[in-house]
Amino acid sequence: MTMSISIKNKRSTMRLVVPLVAAAFLAACNGSSKNDDVETDTENRTFQITVTNLTANQPLSPLAVIAHKSGYHAFTEGSPASAGLEQLAESGANGDLLAEAAGYAEYLDSNSGTGAIGPGGSATVEVSVTEGSQTYLSIVSMLVNTNDGFTAADNYDISGLSVDESSSMTLPVWDAGTELNSEADGTIPGPANGGEGYSAARDDIVDFVAIHRGVISSDDGLSSSILNESHRFDNPAARLTVKRID
């Protein structure tokens, strides 16, 4: 907006243009310095995480669910498992892994499932985050009728989900590389045996996380195995569904 003022005399005409920028700005702001259009991006976001067991006879241990920024990893393929992951992969206990995650700068929130997930069953937990828009999930659960097998999602990006939107993926089975896959009596913590579970000794052939090759079972030639054909599994072992509910 401009105002033109003409001043005339006998010899010349002077034209003055007076910008009214300041007045226009104050009018637009209604006399206030507050900018209501600035988005702080600190809104609370709540996610509902559901895991469904796709195996025939491999119960899954209570879920370990971790919300975090990019940079945290519950495990890395080809690298040794952390002590917390070893505990979970051998016994199903998730407390140490959740405690490890809470010590990372990228940590946002975590939650634990309340019980095992039977074949064909599902379990749901929630996590909430309040800072920034960058949100990833890592989820880990043991196949309890194995020596150290687990299913997991690592660094799953859910940043783009709007309220009531959902995303899903299937989860493979990993071998923690911390315990020999002997399938022997006393080494399987699940209902197939009720064995020892966690042992601090690492006696696997390799000491790193890799895709699980599956169990052999006594029905397929491993006479010392306490597992049978029903305990065998194919990938994927689970389905993950994430829904933003707030």
Residue 163 exposed, middle or buried by CB count within 10 Å (0-12, 13-18, 19+): exposed
Q: Is residue 156 part of a domain?
A: yes
DSSP letter (8 states) at residue 148: S
Q: What is the CB neighbour count within 10 angstroms for residue 10?
A: 4
Q: How many CB atoms lie within 10 A of CB 98?
A: 19
Specify burial of residue 74 (Cβ count, 10 A radius: 0-12, 13-18, 19+). Answer: buried
Q: Is 79 left (phi over 0), alpha (psi -120 to 50) or beta?
A: beta
Tokens of 241: 């569904």
3-state secondary structure at position 229: helix
Does residue 8 lie in a domain region?
Answer: no
Q: Can you tell me which residue has the tokens 């194995």?
A: 146
Percent of the chain scoring above 70 in pLDDT? 83
Residue 219 DSSP code: G
In a domain, 75, yes or no: yes
CATH number at residue 76: 2.60.40.2130
26 phi, psi to nearest 5 deg: -65, -35
Question: What integer is the mean pLDDT of 225-233?
Answer: 98
Over the stretch 113-172, which tens digit does the pLDDT of each residue have? 999 999 999 999 999 999 677 999 999 999 999 999 999 999 999 999 999 999 999 999
Q: Is 16 a domain residue?
A: no
Tell me the C-alpha distance between 121 and 114, whole Å.
Answer: 13
Tell me if 68 sits within 8 A of 107, measured CB to CB: yes
Range of the domain at 209: 45-244
In sequence order, the 6+-apart residues with CB closer than 8 A to the CB of 61 are 88, 92, 93, 94, 113, 116, 141, 142, 144
Determine the pLDDT at residue 41: 57
Within-domain flag for 226: yes
Q: How confident is the model at residue 9 (pLDDT cuts 50, 70, 90)?
A: very low
**Is 190 domain-assigned?**
yes
Q: Which position has the higher pLDDT, 98 or 5?
A: 98
Statement: residue 215 has pLDDT above 70: yes
222 phi/psi in degrees, rounded to 5 = -95, 95
Confirm whether 196 is domain-assigned.
Answer: yes
Provide the number of structural domains found in the chain.
Answer: 1
Closest CA to 231 of 218, 246, 245, 241: 218
Give the integer Cα–Cα distance in Å for 149 and 174: 6
